[in-house]
Structure 1
Amino acid sequence: MKHFRLARAAAFVIALSASLTSISYAADPGKPEIRFGATAGPYSDQIRYGIKPQLEKEGYKVTIVEFSDYVQPNLALADGALDANAFQHEIYLKKFSEDHKLALSELVKVPTAPIGLYTHKHKTLNDVKDGATVSLPNDVTNQARAIILLQQLGWVTLKAGVDPVKSSERDIASNPHKLKLVPLEAAQLPRSLDDVDYAFVNGNFALAAGLKLTDALLLEKIPPYYLNLVAVRTADLNKPYVKDIANAYRSAAFGKVIDERFAGFSKPSN
């Protein structure tokens, strides 16, 4: 009986030690919960199906906080209400951080749905008529993306010397169809489709509204600087939980989720 008790005690100690070792090795002991912000739709779903399961296997509790605008996620990240967010590209992050004096940094780029030109009223781009209304994002960086596409269509031309990536309505030199541009908050663009002739809709909001990427009359070919990314506080870049987030996004398991659930998304090289 004595030997049995000793053996049982030894087995308990070994099991407890193994459990503690696994927890301390797998998860950042200083960060038991990761609060992850994202706009509702594909980027929160990427976290839900491709990132959260991996991080939870490593011992983290993962909470997803969804937003309906492009302002609050960075403010919440900067003040510590979030630990990471996924909704923006590098140009937007840099400008927003500069304008609001925030110390935020890119961690890793993520598969991204392109901005597209949608309509409920026309069959083709050739149907554009003089005086047509076109809604587009009202934030600086995403409005420039829409204007670049307008220029590619030949619907507008920009003033000489203007950097298209930084362009706005003020930089349009000619507008042969006399288009009426209607800047709106990005989240409101899908709802505008009943009121305008055409609408430029960011991919995440298009999918969240039930639109298909293949429904667009024109889809952007996303350059690297317009790929969405995961942002964290600059001071946290080298923390273990941040490295675990990056590894999850770079994993084969995440790649499989993208292939199965997010067909048509532009993928980063990192």
Structure 2
Amino acid sequence: MKLTDISRQVVGAFAIAGVSGLVLVGCNNSSAPESTTEGSTESAPAETSETTTTAASGDIDPNHTKIVIGTTEGDFADMVRNQVKSSLEAQGYEVELVPFTDYVRPNLALAEGDLDINIFQHKPYLDTFKQANNLDLVEVFQVPTAPLGLYSGKKTKIEEAYKGMSVSAPNDPSNFARALVMMQDLGWITLKEGIDPLTASKSDIADNSKYDIEIVELEAAQLPRARDEVDFAIINGNYATDAGIKLTDALAQEQSFAYINWSAVKTADKDAKWVQDVTAAYNSDAFKKYAHETFPGYKYPKIWGEDHGAHMAGDKKAASTDAAASTEAPAAAQ
């Protein structure tokens, strides 16, 4: 099935999956209907083909010499264009980028074989989507992701928190749960024991007496514009960057790695050499340097062993992020 055929399944897939509330951190929320392809550079002239073949046979997967990568348009596509593509091509692979502008077709295209790997989603979305659509996909490695952050409103420092303050938060269930967990990590509220943090709701708040917070629920896209109407604002990373807010201006960022974005492949491919090579490209020193320079304030893959807050401005770094580097490693097909 080709990508143009897949577009006919979009409406049905949304209805089946029931995941419209799962907003993907770091993804561009464009509604344009079609994807495009960005091919590899032209092949080498005939006189160099022997040398190229010899290098390829030793350095790349001989059974899979072309890699088709699907991403949403924006940061994840830029990572391929500006760093990963050239790295894999230098190794001997042919690389094609297919940017998408929705969150349904990348997984369908991967399952149908039009993509080799996609990079655009967090694990809760992948788990929900593949179960609802009976897709045999698996996550492989994490990628730098714009995290949920606490930003100033009428107040400019966390120490200015007071009883009766107002805090805005995204109103969709998935991201509202993240906001509640973040407020608990800050010591502002207490959630009931034993709840699922991925589905936490207002009814799961056990204690709000410390600050008696007025939680103002807004559409995620409205949060940056409404900062001057609340004391603090909890904003999705992609909406913060879209509004021109620097992630390094966050007063705190979420500790959890549950919503950092992952790559995904068909389960049958997870141990293939080409997958290992793509994984190595995204975890190379060159890519880390590129990510640190290009995406300051992003949450970096846990396997990097870094405190993502280390790249935030000194006094704006949240003390709570120190715990992020020591939390239990996520279960994944690394």
Same fold (TM over 0.5): yes
Change beyond 3 A, Cα 1:91–1:77: same
> Does the 8 Å CA contact 1:108/1:246 hold for their aligned counterparts?
yes
* Residues matched between the structures, number: 253
User: Which one of the candidate residues 69, 77, 88 is aligned to 1:35?
Assistant: 69
Superposition deviation, residue 194 in structure 1? 5.1
Question: Which of the numbers 225, 229, 251 marks the counterpart of 1:217?
Answer: 251
Aligned to 2:151: 118
Give the drift of 1:44: 3.1
Cα deviation 1:66-117 (Å, max 9, x = unaligned): 44x6555434433445432223333443233334432221111223443201
Matched residue SS, 2:185: helix
Structure 2 residue identity aligned to 1:171: D
**Radius of gyration: which is bigger?**
1
| 2:107 corresponds to | 74
Q: Could you say if the C-alpha distance between residues 196 and 75 of structure 1 is closer, same or farther in structure 2, counting changes exceeding 3 Å?
A: farther
Task: In structure 1, list runs of 5 or more residues that go unmatched.
Answer: 1-11
1:190 and 1:209 in contact (8 A); partners too: no
Q: Does residue 251 of structure 2 align to residue 251 of structure 1?
A: no
Secondary structure of 2:226's counterpart equals: helix
- Residues 124 and 81 of structure 1: is their aligned pair in 2 closer, same or farther, counting only changes over 3 Å? farther
Amino acid at match of 1:179: E
Q: Which residue of the other structure, out of 205, 221, 231, is the alignment partner of 1:172?
A: 205
User: In 2 relative to 1, CA 255–153 (structure 1 residues): closer, same or farther, beyond 3 Å?
Assistant: closer
The alignment's C-alpha RMSD in Å is: 3.5
Q: Is the 8 A contact 2:66 2:93 kept in 1?
A: yes
Ranges in structure 2 where 5+ consecutive residues have no aligned partner: 1-44, 305-334
Deviation sequence 1:162-199 (CA, Å, 0-9, x none): 243442233223444352442635xx255553585243
Which letter maps to 1:65? P
Alignment of 1:79-98 (within 5 A): 79-98=112-131
Counterpart amino acid of residue 147 in structure 1: L
Q: Is the 8 A contact 1:133 1:196 kept in 2?
A: no
Contact 2:72 2:119 in 1 (8 A): yes
Residue 300 (structure 2) aligned to one of 249, 262, 266: 266
- Which AA in structure 2 matches 1:59? Y
Residue 63 of structure 1 is matched in structure 2 by 97
Are the structure 2 counterparts of residues 199 and 100 from structure 1 closer, same or farther at C-alpha, using a change threshold of 3 Å?
farther
Equivalent of 1:230 in 234, 254, 263: 263
In structure 1, the partner of 2:314 is none
Q: Which structure has more RCO (C-alpha within 8 Å, separation ≥ 6)?
A: 1
Query: Following the alignment from structure 1 to structure 2, what is the Cα–Cα distance between the partners of residues 196 and 98?
Result: 40
Q: CA deviation at 1:65?
A: 0.9
